[in-house]
Amino acid sequence: MFALTSVWTTLLLAAAVALGPLATDMYLPALPQIGADFHSGTDQVQLTLSLYLVGFALAQLVCGPLADRFGRKPIMIGGILIFALASVGCALADSIETLQLCRFLQAVGGSAGPVLGRAAVRDIYTPREAGRILAILASLMALAPALAPTLGGALLAQLGWPSIFLALAAYGLLVTGLIAWGMPEPLPRAYRQPLRPGHLLRNYRTLVIDVRFLGYTLTNAAIYGGLFAFLSGSSFVLIDFLGVEPQHFGLYFACMVVGYILGNLASARLSRQLLADQILVRGLLVAVTGGGAMAILAYQGVHTVWAVILPQTLFMIGAGMLLPQALAGALANFPTMAGSASALFGFIQMAVAAGAGALVGRLHDGTPLVMASIIAACAAIALAFHMLLVQRRPARGFEPRRAPGQSPL
């Protein structure tokens, strides 16, 4: 067994959290081919992404409370096994409807890795330490989406799109084995919560009426909506409209991921000098600039690959700076129900992402315009949530130091 605070445990948590981006990013180059093979329109193919997000969101509301009662480790192992089995089902699907169903089931199991990986960080570290560790975790985890589209494109070209899902199944089985063998249980028994419906509802009620939790969660969700608007529309914009080869899609996608990693590293470095909310504001401003630039270029009819990739890379630098701090802020006040808090945080995040992705699929006109407009709108909404909620009530431990006798409000 690894020590809870060891680098090996951090790497293992990163591998579990990476299930989410791997399952969304690895098959992106195959979306046009899946549509052609099943004779399905863009909206039906895009549903394989949106239904994944819906399943991911709903499952978190269950696996979070289960993990608060029984511990993180057994729920993670069970969930990731379900993910692996559903991935095999995706590979064997013979219709777009079967693929959609298996993607939903894949998400139900796969949600255990990211939501409980985040909760485990809160179990192990203090709120301010968690912001730094989550930023490091995110930069490690970002290697997955950096490599996933390129690997997916190579598998698509050589073996066909079902091989992508078989590779995901193999990854899930590997992570399950490593967690079973190497990770100690991070949740102390003193923090275990009873599994009673009334108790769960009270926990969720406590969270949804907490202004601090809502502020950080909604700010995060809006930025995540912008990210998934890009994931939903990028393959159709870059491959179908701008003529990028599917096997080269991952190379352009990697530029965006590099931006996210740079934002994560900046967040971790700045956390030693600045308050978490100061880092969050800087990230928001960068994201708004990137989203706005893409929308302006699209409205002006500048239709090139770099008119999409460079602004999105800037957006992702901002996202990488703010997302770890938003998560740490949302969980800061809830050490005894971090699983439920992480679950509701993830539910709202994925619900908004699913809505943004579905909106891109519904309104897509073949050009970058719809995708760019939704990304810019999401960034602006995130800034509004921060100004209206977070700035008024920062999380405990995130506030500036006050002079003696100064009001906390």
The domain that holds 215 is classified in CATH as 1.20.1250.20
404 inside domain:
no
Pair 233, 371: CB distance under 8 Å: yes
- Residue 149, domain extent: 7-187+196-390
2 inside domain:
no
Instruction: Please give the Cα distance from 351 to 311 (Å, whole number).
Output: 25
409 inside domain:
no
182 inside domain:
yes
Name the domain count of the chain. Answer: 1
pLDDT at 126: 67
Helix/strand/coil for 342? helix
* Full pLDDT tens readout for the chain, 409 residues: 666 666 777 788 888 888 888 898 899 899 989 999 999 887 889 889 889 988 988 888 888 788 888 888 899 999 999 999 999 999 999 999 999 999 999 999 988 888 788 778 777 776 667 767 777 776 666 677 778 888 998 999 999 999 999 999 999 999 999 988 888 888 777 777 777 778 778 888 999 999 889 999 999 999 999 998 998 888 889 988 898 888 788 888 888 888 988 998 888 788 778 888 889 999 999 999 999 999 999 999 999 999 999 999 999 999 999 888 898 888 877 877 776 787 788 889 888 988 898 898 888 888 999 999 999 999 999 999 999 998 877 666 555 444 333 332 2
405 inside domain:
no
Helix/strand/coil for 336? helix
pLDDT at 404: 36
Pair 118, 327: CB distance under 8 Å: yes
350 inside domain:
yes
Instruction: Please give the Cα distance from 13 to 314 (Å, whole number).
Output: 27
Q: What Å distances lie between residue 93 and 28, 107, 110, CA to CA?
A: 17, 16, 19
Pair 65, 200: CB distance under 8 Å: yes
Instruction: Please give the Cα distance from 382 to 268 (Å, whole number).
Output: 21
400 inside domain:
no
378 inside domain:
yes
